[in-house]
Amino acid sequence: MKSKPNAVSDVAQTLKIDEPSKRRKSLKKWIIVVLLTAAAMTAVVIWKLTETSKALQYKTQEVQIGNLTVIVTATGTLQPTNKVDVSSELSGIIKTVAVDYNDRVKVGQVLATLDTSKLQAQVMQSKAALESAKGKVLQAQATVKETRSKLRQFQKVRELSNNKVPSQSEIDAAEAALERAEADEVSAKAAVSQAQAALEANETDLSKSVIRSPINGIVLTRSAEPGQTVAASFQAPVLFTLAEDLTQMELHVDVDEADVGQVREGQTATFSINAYPGRSFQARITQARYGSKTTEGVVTYETVLKVDNSDLSLRPGMTATADITVKKVEKVTLVPNAALRFTPPVQEEKKSSSGLVGALLPRPPSSPSKPIEEATTNKKQQRVWTLKEGKLSAVPITIGATNGIMTEVAAGDIKAGMAAVVDIAETGK
């Protein structure tokens, strides 16, 4: 009786009574796998369709007919057309100062005076030396007269005595004495000239003790004060700085070496200064200098511009930023610089679809195709991309002047109104 359960299970196994329940479990597993596979395939298909639906759209800008102005920007400082530093040739103590800052002065006007006590004494001494030299000339002349008279007497006596007396040696001595007297007279006259020159030099120094204005202008700086000692032995000190005419000024700017080739005399410019924001001043180039300056490795060339300052609003030393008009063209075809910088994106080669299996199975990466056209080495030869029936089309052009925003088209099959591609925008449909 105990062996019956085992016998029943053996019979069931033999007859495969439990097979339906196992099949049901296996079927459930397969259904789950199929559903997951279908969901994955659906997601991949949707992703592929979404990716395919994306298309490139391009931003364009119209080619225009207009005027183009090319400018070169440079900075510099304002300076007077003629600036004079007034110094003293003499050493001494400043006695008086007659002018101050911003005073207008005329040619010959007294600016300052030095103490002249020592100079006056030197002038008096020179006058006395001159009078002494003149007295020696009179003395020499009297000696010459005396020796000449004595020689004549000897010659007359010798003639009357039939060349017997005086002797020849006495005649020779008298002639020598006359020559010495005449030489002393010449030396005395030279001493007079020397004393006269010394007197004039001292009188000149005395006149230079009064410092006068050499020009008509205005006092920019003053470094002289009463009681100040001036030492001009080694280097003349600058006491005053005068500007001749502030109604006409100069703007000295430093032009970069990359732009100096476009700068010419006679070109016009506008400049601005911080003291008058929003105001523009006019200027004209009068000199483009060839000498260079190197500052922190940057090479620049000094350029001088003439400025009208009739209202005296501009002052020496102000910093200005100038825009020099180097070229101006009218009614030319213009393309935006962004169109010249545009490069079409590299497109991948299209391959035939492998269906759903191909979408699910990985494929080796495709190599990108080469650009449509290689870039030219000539910077003047460029190309502009336009749209024809939704596709990009390259238009070769030759460019001219540019202002950094628009560029002149010197030659090329491009007309006003054409849409030039400047950028791309990837959007979904």
Query: In this predicted model, what pLDDT tens digit does every residue of 239-286 receive, in sequence order?
Result: 999 999 899 999 999 999 999 999 999 999 999 999 999 999 999 999
Portion of the chain with pLDDT greater than 90, in percent: 58
Same domain, residue pair 353 and 397: yes
Calculate the alpha carbon distances from 307 to 70, 215, 281, 290, 304 in Å.
21, 21, 8, 21, 10
User: 281: helix, coil or strand?
Assistant: strand
In a domain, 16, yes or no: no
Secondary-structure breakdown of the chain: helix, strand, coil percentages, each rounded to the nearest 5? 35, 35, 30
- Position 35 scores a pLDDT of 79
In a domain, 14, yes or no: no
In a domain, 100, yes or no: yes
Domain residue limits at 276 = 72-81+248-328
Calculate the alpha carbon distances from 314 to 214, 275, 329 in Å.
24, 9, 32
Q: Indicate the residue type of 25.
A: K
Same domain, residue pair 179 and 253: no
Calculate the alpha carbon distances from 415 to 336, 380, 424 in Å.
13, 18, 22
Last residue of a domain, one of 297, 328, 359: 328
pLDDT in tens, 13-72: 554 545 555 566 677 777 777 778 877 777 766 665 555 445 578 888 889 999 999 999
* CATH number of the domain bearing residue 161: 1.10.287
Structurally, the chain folds into a number of domains equal to 4
User: How many CB atoms sit inside 10 A of residue 166's CB?
Assistant: 16
Last residue of a domain, one of 275, 306, 328: 328
For residue 303, pLDDT beyond 90? yes
Same domain, residue pair 257 and 301: yes
Nearest to 195 by CA among 133, 121, 124: 133
In a domain, 401, yes or no: yes
Same domain, residue pair 94 and 236: yes
For residue 316, pLDDT beyond 70? yes
- Position 211 scores a pLDDT of 95
Task: Quickly tell me which residue has 């225009």 as its tokens.
Answer: 64
Same domain, residue pair 220 and 106: yes
Same domain, residue pair 123 and 107: no
Cα–Cα–Cα angle for 25, 26, 32, rounded to 5 degrees: 95
- Position 129 scores a pLDDT of 95
In a domain, 39, yes or no: no
Same domain, residue pair 224 and 92: yes
For residue 414, pLDDT beyond 80? yes
* CATH number of the domain bearing residue 342: 2.40.420
3-state secondary structure 303-360: EEEEEECCCCCCCCCCEEEEEEEEEEEEEEEEEEHHHHHCCCCCCECCCCCCHHHHHH
Same domain, residue pair 235 and 292: no
Give this prediction's pTM: 0.64
- Position 21 scores a pLDDT of 59
